[in-house]
Chain A
């Protein structure tokens, strides 16, 4: 509000004692004033509603009584008393129901005739905003952590599975040299085939992890002839599936700088996909068109239709309920990886299915141009209030003088109480969070304040006298929205609306606007007061919440995917196990060299099973599918069974494994507690090879305490607190295999039983893991 505005469009018949007092009292801004001693002189309804007090309970009390941080408030009062103007200062107020309200305070001292009259204060409630911000921050942190862990996890799984798979392949190939009869050969070949399938899934998992990692898939670009790559892939497919007819059409120059291996993968995935889902009766057509100078265009088409609802999710790794419809065998990651490779080359891929034909089309720019495209999670949102802030700052400098801004230059009733005048003056002067202005009866702008300038962007001299429809988008104006709002305000006293409004620069903001009809003493309409709040930020927060919910859904689908991946891996694993056992039967137990190879392959198979089980466990835990099957059991019995099974492994590692167990009957999930003991003892065997390991079971009041002690090197002190987190390992990854999931699973199972697990180093050296479980499990469900 400037002096300029005060002289425009007087609302001649405006009577502040009636309508204005009412208007102030109902204003959607919390306002109060306190005297020099800090006693509350007056507060409007918004303020009372904010804190839940009645006027009797609030007015007349020392303000400091309501401050959650009295020192902060006293400091504020002190500053205002010394002439300072407070802008957007954080304060926490205590509401009547004990809750804390976060407010932003704008305050200064009203001085008249050189005398300090009162401290006036606007409080803007930002409790919800604060909570939303906190929730959002927490959510973002959780999400990014989950995403990072999952990607890392997929990467680790990929690496860890590779070792045992190679062992099996090598053992199988060696065994082929020892086996003559066709049946044995077939058995080994089937075994190798299973390992191959697992390798295939595994490289998909690895690519998936790489595609998700920051750098994405790395490319090695070299001058490449695309037709040659396509021909090689087609040859391979023809060899494996001779019944398929594949046509290749080349046009123009099909050379460019590409990663040949990755392109080969693209062709292989697309052709493989067509072969998997199509029928060999109709030909598969591949067209490579190099007639354009900048890019090569490729089309892979065959007969067959993809349902339209699946098209948008074809290139997504997580297809939720559609996953089953889309996959036949494997992880269904092929198209996701294909899309990623094409995009890393700066190109794009699309799928189209109509009239019985499905075509995948992609283009590849011949040369790398700058950065590869990487999809990002956050889209930077423009700050809606950044621009007008400077203008508001300039105005703020001018509005604090005692007569710089009065109420619009109405012919004031001389009887108006000083307090009311003061309130109104305050209201329009200092408010910059709200556009507060008056309209005359025809809807033309009569006054303008700092907030209005900040939010709408117009300076007072430009806007006063103009119809308020300039703030509305054209469609709203055409629809008669402005007239409608005035009509409602006239009829009901007020109208409220939330919607898009225009700034001076044409940009939109999301506004909440309240129009109050102002009437003179005789009840005749003299104009309107309009308060507009810029809610763009709140709306953005809501939109962000929706976006986060989508991201959360993506994480959930990803976890579902992990579960599917481990499930898929189990099928070839079963074949592998059965074939290995069959081979052992067929070969007999005569030849030690053959047996040694079989043993090696079988150890690798066992290791694979463990890894896949761990993968599944984690997937179950994060998807919340992990449930306990409780039954009455003796802990001593469960622990002894698990320890018994590990004697052989311990002996190989040079660990003497001893057990002392008291009987302790309780309600547990037998197989899960077995898993806890197995994981802890396996962990000790791995980390304390060559030293004794002691396991004990003891009753302690209503609990059973299971201890696993070793005398190995102990745990690095810095890692004691993190050792039960997912993917944490006490030792370097290179030294010990495994996914680092064992202890994480131990903690989840223990906590699901209502128990605890701790790790410590013993004074004599070595590590001690202590699991304490209530005899009756208190928490049947696990919360991840």
Chain B
């Protein structure tokens, strides 16, 4: 699914017209772009923070947040000091977070390019969507792959309900598994439903409060990065 386009870069020395080209105007390979979407409160920002802590010693990283009406997510990441502030940018979305990641990706593309200009070269840019509904997915013109984050407390019927996020995301993360006994969520049923909706696409059940934490998602990111560099 990688966006290997035949026209790497372009011939005029001006910024690339779209996000799909694999090379930057100076001829270097751009960073891998991963999108994280999912409903409000499912743990997208916590997953981004955990990924930054896990990967920052081995990779050059940056994050773009798409907050709905605040800079809360960007400020959480800054407060947690998961990355230096110049590596975190917030995009404003005009009350429509899915528009900014799918229908009109221009602001996010600018944010990614500005980060690459300012603190690059980068290996990986994580783009976090504002909390949205089950139909919110990233444009393939913006990201190379996307993670959809849901949680067990949001209802164990979400995988069964499907929707583009659950069904088509390159990785489905079912977060907060430690809460399952308290909210009466059936993890086996969620896994079976996810399998039925997604076929061979991977699913990770995680709890960021347990020791393994974000390890399996981080491993998936490393695989993606290896494929992107290959």
Do the two shown chains form a genuine complex with each other? no
B interface, CB within 8 angstroms of A: none
